[in-house]
Structure 1
Amino acid sequence: MFRRPILVLLLLLALASPSAAEMKARFIAPQAVSQGEPFLVELILPVEPRSASLRWLGREQALEPRPVEGGFWSLRALVGASASQKAGREIVAFSVDVAGRSRTFPWQIEIRSRSFPESRLTVEEKMVVPPEEARSRIEKESRRVQAALASSQPSGLWTLPLNRPVKGIVTCPYGWRRVYNGKPRSPHSGVDLRAGVGASVRSLAPGRVLLAEEHYFAGNVVYVDHGGGVVSAYAHLSRIDVAVGQDVERGQVLGLAGATGRVTGPHLHLGLFLQGRSVDAMPLFEEDLKGLLEGRQELEIALG
């Protein structure tokens, strides 16, 4: 006796639901970025994907979709190229499984060259050319960092703008060419912020502690995974107040600023890594995020 109403309901639902050929995805991204500049990419889908990932500069990062207004699903990622990345055109691509069908959505981005100033610093010679007995330690620490950067969870816990870890001004920007005791070294992989010994250092966003230990160059350092390939690092701390595996909140104190490791004075070295590559964190602290959002364009793509 209930068969006819059920059939009518199913018919109405079928008429109201768009066919696969009518469903469309929206890809939002910039057309050009500079070396070291973070940027935001987003894929908006009309249905929830079974799985999703992002590929950029040879690295794959699993992502977790999140529901957004209107019954849509968003895949949102922070991406960037390091200061040493060659200028040219590269492809960023989302790969998704929708209803058992794999789809890839590529977007071409131009990476533009950027000029970075040079800074000359005088430090202890052992911090420029480490003694033989320290080299094995440095290699082990580097491997631990690389493993941590590759372990980011799919679920993005970050929100923009990011929380500024200390109030101090920038004393050495990202990307500056470093010359220690007259010997050129790789570009500055983070940004140095003024902070006196004992100043509270706070997390950029919610996350989980990946590393909390003492390193030869970085001194006391904490790495936090914010998900979706976003990892922050806080170096030269005088004290560490968190432990590996601990979940932290946005703005939570991770430790106290100091002058441990290779330094010329107390400060916080802040590193931000997107899919394992260091980028300039400063554009992500802007309250209006104008620099991050301007220049983005939208492409509509049929799913059928």
Structure 2
Amino acid sequence: MRKTWLLLALLPGLAAAAALPDADPVPGGIVALPLGDAQTPAPTAYYQDKRVMVLSHDNQWTALVGIPLTAKPGPQQLTVHSALGESTLAFSIKDKQYPAQYLTIPNQRMVNPNPEDQARIERESKILAQALSTWSEQTEVDTDFRLPAQGPLSSPFGLRRFFNKQPRDPHSGLDIAAPAGAPINAPADGRVINAGEYFFNGNAVFVDHGQGLITGYFHMSRIDAREGQIVRKGDILGAVGATGRVTGPHLHWNVYLNGAKVDPALFVARQLAALNGGEKAVTGTPQAAKLR
């Protein structure tokens, strides 16, 4: 059963989002769709039968729709329920070709798990699926994230991955090449919904920020956060490490929106631009920015 939290009651001081993430209507991107005057009751919206985030921004209701990496380019539609009834809103997804990355993993079990490993992976997948189905009824959500660690951005989101020359799922997050032991900070207020050790992810923490927006932090050397803990922007979640399937110490950072893994760089675009002297970082390219 999907978990539902009333984060607004738990975070009474939560401020309205200062800015929305960058929109990019591609697989792995985000689509922002206006839904009407924010003086009217808040509508609810669904994409591929999953509820999506609806925020009040610039005096209008706006739906933020996460697009799965598996989505096909072309026409799509959002189903909207408002005081006027049910309606559909059409939008379109553009094609995007992500570059390839070839990695050598010395531990063969991390490339071709044995039956015991596979049984563990399946058990863990169910646990993670339950955590990632969390929906928090929350009027305001801070989507103006801050990068959770300091270091070069190494592997960007969406790379087509090959481990030991074998094709695997695309890179689902953003890698920050911070040194082992470096702190990992919450990018925004939220609630820790899962913390544990996993076969591929190593030591990992997942934070619910409200309305289907969830972040994940993988390969940690140390976990400082506990499940159920309320965290504020900047709070330490743990430390960078090299646990799970890795080639070296780094933070792998995932962002999930309505169940879709989306590019974390879209949530920190303004910070990346400031670090790049005002120029927008190019996502999908290694070494998009260096953090100091």
TM-score band w.r.t. shorter chain: 0.7 to 0.9
Residues 210 and 42 of structure 1: is their aligned pair in 2 closer, same or farther, counting only changes over 3 Å?
farther
1:115-171 Cα deviation digits (max 9, x unpaired): 111111111110011111111111111111111111121215532431111122211
Corresponding position: 1:276 with 2:268? no
Residues 154 and 35 of structure 1: is their aligned pair in 2 closer, same or farther, counting only changes over 3 Å?
same
Please name the residue that 2:51 is paired with. Answer: 60
Larger of the two Rg values belongs to structure: 1
Please name the residue that 2:192 is paired with. Answer: 209
> CA separation in 2, counterparts of 1:234 and 1:32?
23
> CA separation in 2, counterparts of 1:31 and 1:239?
34
> CA separation in 1, counterparts of 2:191 and 2:261?
19
SS at match of 1:85: coil
| Unaligned stretches of 5+ residues in structure 1 | 1-29, 292-304
Among 76, 79, 82, the alignment partner of 1:90 is: 76
1:95-116 Cα deviation digits (max 9, x unpaired): 13x3xxx523432111111011
TM-score by length of 1: 0.76
Alpha-carbon deviation of 1:247? Answer: 0.9
1:65-89 Cα deviation digits (max 9, x unpaired): 76x78xx6x5444322122211111
SS at match of 1:235: strand
> CA separation in 2, counterparts of 1:188 and 1:171?
12
Alpha-carbon deviation of 1:245? Answer: 1.0
Among 89, 98, 113, the alignment partner of 1:130 is: 113
Tell whether the 8 Å contact from 1:62 to 1:154 is kept in structure 2 after alignment.
Answer: no
SS at match of 1:148: helix
Corresponding position: 1:111 with 2:93? yes
SS at match of 1:33: coil
Alpha-carbon deviation of 1:58? Answer: 2.5
SS at match of 2:270: coil
Q: Which amino acid aligns with 1:36?
A: G
Among 29, 37, 41, the alignment partner of 1:37 is: 29
Please name the residue that 1:23 is paired with. Answer: none
TM-score by length of 2: 0.79
Corresponding position: 1:197 with 2:180? yes
Residues 1-304 of structure 1: pairs in structure 2 closer than 5 A: 33-45=25-37, 47-49=39-41, 52-61=43-52, 75-96=61-82, 98=83, 103-123=85-105, 124-155=107-138, 157-287=140-270
Q: How many positions carry a matched residue from both structures?
A: 252
> CA separation in 1, counterparts of 2:102 and 2:34?
40
Tell whether the 8 Å contact from 1:61 to 1:275 is kept in structure 2 after alignment.
Answer: yes
> CA separation in 2, counterparts of 1:256 and 1:115?
33
Please name the residue that 2:9 is paired with. Answer: none
For the aligned residue pairs, the C-alpha RMSD in angstroms reads: 2.5
Residues 33 and 264 of structure 1: is their aligned pair in 2 closer, same or farther, counting only changes over 3 Å?
same
1:204-225 Cα deviation digits (max 9, x unpaired): 2111111100000000000111
SS at match of 1:136: helix
Please name the residue that 1:12 is paired with. Answer: none
Q: Percent identity?
A: 33
